[in-house]
Structures are given as structure tokens and as C-alpha cells.
Amino acid sequence: MQYYYYPYKVFLIVSSFLMFSPVFADQQATAIVKAAIDYWRDNSSYSVTEMIIHRTNWQRAMILQIWTQGNKKSLVRIIKPKKDRGNATLTKNDRMWTFSPKINRIIRIPASMMNRSWMGSDFSNNEVAKADELLKYYTHTLIGTETHNGQTVYIIKAVPFEYAPIVWGKVLLKIRADYIVLEQTFYDQDNILVKKMETLKIENMGGKRIAVIQRMQKAKKADEWTKIVVKEVEFTINVSSRMFTLSNLRNPRF
């Protein structure tokens, strides 16, 4: 896929925004969100990421290996520190399982827990798996634009469907014209800000520009946050479908 054509296409879409009906505008907002998800995941990807969980009296770090295939499959495996090594999470076709080597068990994560904290971090199970729930369970509206380093940034409001299994009342996204998500803010059902994810650094890695440092910050606890730092990444790689199986979740072979 030729990603460097995308920013120009989005410019044409948004510049003509006022000439079309609100329904059309909402469709284009959804297209921007989808393109941002596709841009990161690509057809497939592999990355090594450091996750730093910071609290008032302590801090811990983990090194993760992450594989993705399309929008429905991902595998996250902890390789450091030693005490957490082997813990893994598999997401496949909107289902999630975790494996704990300490108890040697695979546990299915119900949909109601997909928005729960992943390994005690400020990122949810969905967010670590980079799941496409923003497309499946939300409507999208383009509510404004701004600029960042000379590029247009699209501000999009995502509101969950009435009966969606979502804890948020709304999510606001800031997506740059090159499909990098600069900011994502999460509000509860009473429209109160709960947490905010910000992109702190953008670099060329894996053949394209990506967000290499992102931080999720709790709204009411200034000294509690989780930072994700991408150490290495490859896109459009050959990933076997057998990578995303329960057997491989328990006993890594691919």
C-alpha cells in the first residue's frame, strides 16, 4: 500500500468537508480513524517496545515483543524482566486470551474486561493489542482542525453506540495528516476526563514516520502515567498465521 499518497487524499476530503452533508462528513471522519489504525498495523508488523509504569512511590519497566497481522490478530509477549517473562496476550477475531507461566494456564478475557488495565499499566487490554474497537463500536465526527509542525491535524470525536460494551462516554482524537495519532483523550459517561494519551516523539523507523514515544497520563493523578517507547519495528513482514494460536501462546514456536 502506498501510504505517502494518503495525506494528500485526506487534505482533499477535509477541504471539501463543508460542501457535503453531515453524514458524508462522518463517513470521512471514520475513514481517517481507520487509516490511522491501518497505518500503524500495516498488513503485518513486529516491534520491540519498552513499557514504563510510573507511580508515586515506584516504577517498573517491561520489554515487550508485539506481532500483528491485519486488524484482527496480535500477540504481545513479555521478555523482560525475568519475573514477568513468558506472560503473553493473544487477540484474535475480537477475542482475547492471556497466558501466565506461573500457573501454566490460558485464560479467556471476556469482552467486559477488554477495557481493564493491562499488566497494571494505564493502557487497557484493547489499547495494548491496538484493537480496532474505535471502528467497531463508535461513530465519528470531525469537529475541527489545527496544525502541528506545518501539517494539518484532524480533531475527531468518537462516541460509542448505545449498547456497545464500552466504558467511555466519548473519546477525542487528534490525528495528523500523515496518520500519526498525536493525542487521544478518554472521558467517562459524565463527560469527565479520565486519562489522556500523548505522542511525545516522532521518528523514522521501519521505513516510515511513526510515534516512537507515547505516554498515557491519568487526569486526576499527575504522578501516575505509563510510557511506551518503540525500540525497533518492522512492517509488512511474513508472519505465520500459526503465530496467533493458543498453542503458540502457551509454547512459543514461531
Q: In a 10 Å sphere around its CB, with 0-12 CB exposed, 13-18 middle and 19+ buried, how is residue 192 labelled?
A: exposed
Q: Which CATH number applies to 3-250?
A: 2.50.20.10
Q: pLDDT 10s per residue in the chain (254 long)?
A: 444 444 444 444 444 443 344 444 588 899 999 999 888 878 899 999 999 999 999 999 999 999 999 878 999 999 999 999 999 999 988 788 999 999 999 999 887 777 788 888 998 877 776 667 788 889 999 999 999 999 999 999 999 988 877 889 999 999 999 999 999 999 999 999 999 999 999 999 999 999 999 999 999 888 899 999 999 999 999 988 899 999 999 988 87
Identify whether the C-beta of residue 160 lies closer than 8 Å to the C-beta of residue 168.
yes
Count of CA atoms in the C-beta half-sphere (13 A) of 175: 30
Q: What length does the chain have?
A: 254
Q: Which of 185, 151, 145, 148 is nearest to 168 (CA)?
A: 185
**What is the per-residue pLDDT for 40?**
81
**What is the per-residue pLDDT for 145?**
92
CB atoms within 10 A of CB 251: 8
Residue boundaries of the structural domains of the chain = 3-250
Helix (H, G, I), strand (E, B) or coil at 180: coil
Backbone CA torsion sign across 187, 62, 126, 5: positive
Residue type, 218: K
In the chain, the N- to C-terminal Cα span, in Å, equals 26
**What is the per-residue pLDDT for 95?**
86
Identify whether the C-beta of residue 81 lies closer than 8 Å to the C-beta of residue 62.
yes
Burial 218-236 (b: 16+ CB within 10 A, else e): beeeeebbbbbbbeebbbe
pTM: 0.84
